[in-house]
Chain A
Amino acid sequence: MAHPVEHNDEGLYGLMAEYADADGLVQGIKKIRQAGYKEVDAFTPQPEHAVNDALGAKTIIPWIVLAGGVAGLLIGFGLQYWSSAIAYPLNVGGRPLNSWISFLPVTFEMTVLLAGLSAVFGTLALAGLPMPYHPVFNVPKFTEKNSRDGFFLLVKAEDPHFDYEQTQFLMSQSGAEGVYDVPK
Chain B
Amino acid sequence: MSNQRPARGAAPRRPSPLPFLIGAVILILAALLGFFLMGPAQFFRSYLLGWLYWTGIGIGGLGLTALHLLTGGQWGMVTRRIFEAASRTLPLMGLLFIPLFFGLASIYSWADPAKVAGDALLQHKEPYLNVPFFIGRTILYFLVWTFIAYRFSQFSVQIEEGAPYEEVRRIKLFAAVSMVLLVITVTFAGIDWLMTLEPHWFSSIFGGIIIMSFVLAAWAFGILTVLRQRATEAFRHVVGAPIFSDLGSLLMAFVMIWSYVQLSQLLIIWSANIPEEATWYLHRMKGGWQWIGWSLLVLHFAVPFVTMMSQTVRSNPRWLRLVALLIMVMYFVHLVWQIVPTWHESITLSPLDLLITIGMGALWIGLFLWQYGQAKLIPPVAIPELRQRIEHAH
A101 touches B266 (CB 8 A): yes
B273 touches A104 (CB 8 A): no
Say yes or no for B267: interface residue by CB 8 A criterion: yes
Bound-complex Cα distance A154 to B333 (A): 57
Bound-complex Cα distance A104 to B266 (A): 11
Interchain Cβ contacts within 8 Å, total number: 15
Interface size class of A (residues with CB under 8 A): under 10
Bound-complex Cα distance A94 to B273 (A): 9
Say yes or no for A130: interface residue by CB 8 A criterion: no
A105 touches B267 (CB 8 A): yes
B270 touches A102 (CB 8 A): yes
Cβ contacts under 8 Å, B392 to chain A: 50
A53-111 contacts to B, CB under 8 A, are 93-95, 99, 101-102, 104-105
B273 touches A93 (CB 8 A): yes
Bound-complex Cα distance A50 to B271 (A): 51
B273 touches A101 (CB 8 A): no
B390 to chain A, nearest CB (A): 14
Cβ contacts under 8 Å, A94 to chain B: 273
Say yes or no for B263: interface residue by CB 8 A criterion: yes
**Shortest Cβ distance from A99 into B: residue:** B270
**Shortest Cβ distance from B309 into A: residue:** A66
Cβ contacts under 8 Å, A50 to chain B: 392
**Shortest Cβ distance from A108 into B: residue:** B263
B30-62 contacts to A, CB under 8 A, are none
Interface string of B233-276 (1 = CB under 8 A from A): 00000000000000000000000000000010011001101000
A102 touches B267 (CB 8 A): yes
Cβ contacts under 8 Å, B263 to chain A: 104
Cβ contacts under 8 Å, B267 to chain A: 101-102, 104-105
Cβ contacts under 8 Å, A105 to chain B: 267
Q: Is the interface of A mostly helix, strand, loop or mixed?
A: helix
Cβ contacts under 8 Å, B270 to chain A: 95, 99, 101-102
**Shortest Cβ distance from B266 into A: residue:** A101
Cβ contacts under 8 Å, B266 to chain A: 101
B residues adjacent to A (C-beta < 8 A): 263, 266-267, 270-271, 273, 392
Cβ contacts under 8 Å, A99 to chain B: 270
Q: Which of B263, B270, B392 has the most CB of A within 10 A?
A: B270
Cβ contacts under 8 Å, B271 to chain A: 102
Bound-complex Cα distance A96 to B227 (A): 46
Q: List 9 contacting pairs A-B, 8 Å CB cutoff, sorted by A.
A: A50-B392, A93-B273, A94-B273, A95-B270, A95-B273, A101-B266, A104-B263, A104-B267, A105-B267
Cβ contacts under 8 Å, B273 to chain A: 93-95
Bound-complex Cα distance A81 to B31 (A): 52
**5 extra interchain contacts, Cβ-Cβ under 8 A, other than A95-B273, A104-B267?**
A93-B273, A95-B270, A99-B270, A102-B270, A105-B267
Bound-complex Cα distance A104 to B271 (A): 12
B305 to chain A, nearest CB (A): 12
Bound-complex Cα distance A34 to B271 (A): 63
Bound-complex Cα distance A94 to B275 (A): 13
**Shortest Cβ distance from A100 into B: residue:** B270
Closest 9 CB pairs of A and B: A101-B270, A93-B273, A101-B267, A101-B266, A102-B271, A104-B263, A102-B270, A104-B267, A95-B273
Cβ contacts under 8 Å, A104 to chain B: 263, 267
Cβ contacts under 8 Å, A102 to chain B: 267, 270-271
B285 to chain A, nearest CB (A): 11
Bound-complex Cα distance A93 to B273 (A): 8
A180 to chain B, nearest CB (A): 31
**Shortest Cβ distance from B311 into A: residue:** A62
Bound-complex Cα distance A140 to B139 (A): 75
Bound-complex Cα distance A99 to B267 (A): 10
B18 to chain A, nearest CB (A): 46
Cβ contacts under 8 Å, A93 to chain B: 273
Bound-complex Cα distance A50 to B267 (A): 46
Bound-complex Cα distance A67 to B263 (A): 24
B29 to chain A, nearest CB (A): 43
Bound-complex Cα distance A95 to B392 (A): 56
B274 to chain A, nearest CB (A): 10
Bound-complex Cα distance A67 to B84 (A): 41
Bound-complex Cα distance A102 to B264 (A): 11
Bound-complex Cα distance A105 to B267 (A): 9
Bound-complex Cα distance A76 to B263 (A): 17
A86-143 contacts to B, CB under 8 A, are 93-95, 99, 101-102, 104-105
A49 to chain B, nearest CB (A): 9
Bound-complex Cα distance A102 to B266 (A): 9
Bound-complex Cα distance A99 to B266 (A): 12
Bound-complex Cα distance A105 to B270 (A): 13
Bound-complex Cα distance A93 to B392 (A): 59
**Shortest Cβ distance from B263 into A: residue:** A104
B109 to chain A, nearest CB (A): 28
A92 to chain B, nearest CB (A): 9
Bound-complex Cα distance A152 to B162 (A): 42
A30 to chain B, nearest CB (A): 15
Bound-complex Cα distance A94 to B266 (A): 17
Bound-complex Cα distance A93 to B271 (A): 9
B45 to chain A, nearest CB (A): 30
B264 to chain A, nearest CB (A): 10
